Amino acid sequence: MLDPQAQALIHLMTERSVPPVHTLSPVQARAAYLERRAYSQPAPPAVGKDLADVRDLRIAAGPAPELPLRLYLPALPMVPASQPLPTLVYFHGGGWTIGDLETHDVLCRELCTQSGAAVVSVDYRMGPEHRFPAAVEDCLAATRWVREHAASMGLDGAKLAVGGDSAGGNLAAVVALLMRDAGDAPLKHQLLIYPATDMRATSASHQLNGQGYLLTAESIAYYRGNYIADAASWRDWRASPLLAPDLSRLPLALVLTAGYDPLRDEGRQYADALSAAGNRTQYVCFERQIHGFITMGRVIDEARTAVSLCAGALRAALIEN
């Protein structure tokens, strides 16, 4: 069954006539997403108590004139004070169209405090103003920049992970592939939270869960259309990492999905493909949940469970091993 708390959220949005995202312009959709976070997201872990510091950075890296980042440092790191901090580079979700440093600020704070690792959140360019592969280019450039400048920030460039949710999970998977192919130093982990891995959207869960669970088939088409200008590019593995010809020699992965999510099957398929290619991969499906639930810890209890699971995986990969 659908989690009762997720069902209550869906009913509330229906009662309040919250407009579907695909009926809004990208500017309107971004504002609505930002505004709604106050209702569903828990209180943010605070600097001085849970976090040592939060810093906004602007870097010149890749083709973007300027790329905003946000650095989170834990108050209680799980490495000795004399050692640099392992780091997660995080890419927010939002269909490559909405979302920013603010919409995922609480989640990044939670991952930082619970894992004991630093987190760097990336505000990559989005569609329709900047179409594919702009987001890929920005995320790759940001990850390399973090590694190159790690020492100056007290970070450990040799202990680096990438992660993200939904569109951000897609970007994290693609960055891991690109860095492997370019011969970059290996990443330690990839955290893929209900990732989009196949732009063709043909798996069974797209039909089973395409209506009634917040992320609809129409919304997926809207996001995809904003990101990718032509259907021929759906098969480009930088857009659909499930279609990459070689998925071997990739970092340890945790793939998390939701049972009532249209993206459920392609997330599981990606986890299976990673395992089949010889990679250490864990797959966990929150069977009663909806797409996007991990940021909704104020109203969905299992969101907090999922955050702790992800933080534990990061801690194990970056600190304990």
Q: Look up residue 271 and give its two tokens.
A: 């986890």
Catalytic residue among 92, 189, 206, 291: 291
Pair 67, 124: CB distance under 8 Å? yes
Pair 123, 100: CB distance under 8 Å? yes
Catalytic residue among 105, 165, 261, 265: 261
Residue 162 β-bridge partners: 89, 190
Sheet of 51-59, strand order: 51-59, 67-74, 118-122, 85-91, 155-165, 189-193, 253-258, 281-286
Catalytic residue among 40, 166, 203, 240: 166
Instruction: Report the alpha-carbon distance of residue 109 to residue 44 in Å, rounded.
Output: 7
**Which residue type, as a one-letter code, is found at position 233?**
S
Residue 106's closest CA among 303, 301, 312, 289?
303
Instruction: Report the alpha-carbon distance of residue 167 to residue 100 in Å, rounded.
Output: 12
Decide if 261 is catalytic. Answer: yes
CA distances (Å), origin 219, targets 14, 206, 224, 262:
16, 12, 8, 11
Q: Look up residue 113 and give its two tokens.
A: 């405090």
Q: Which residues are catalytic?
A: 166, 261, 291
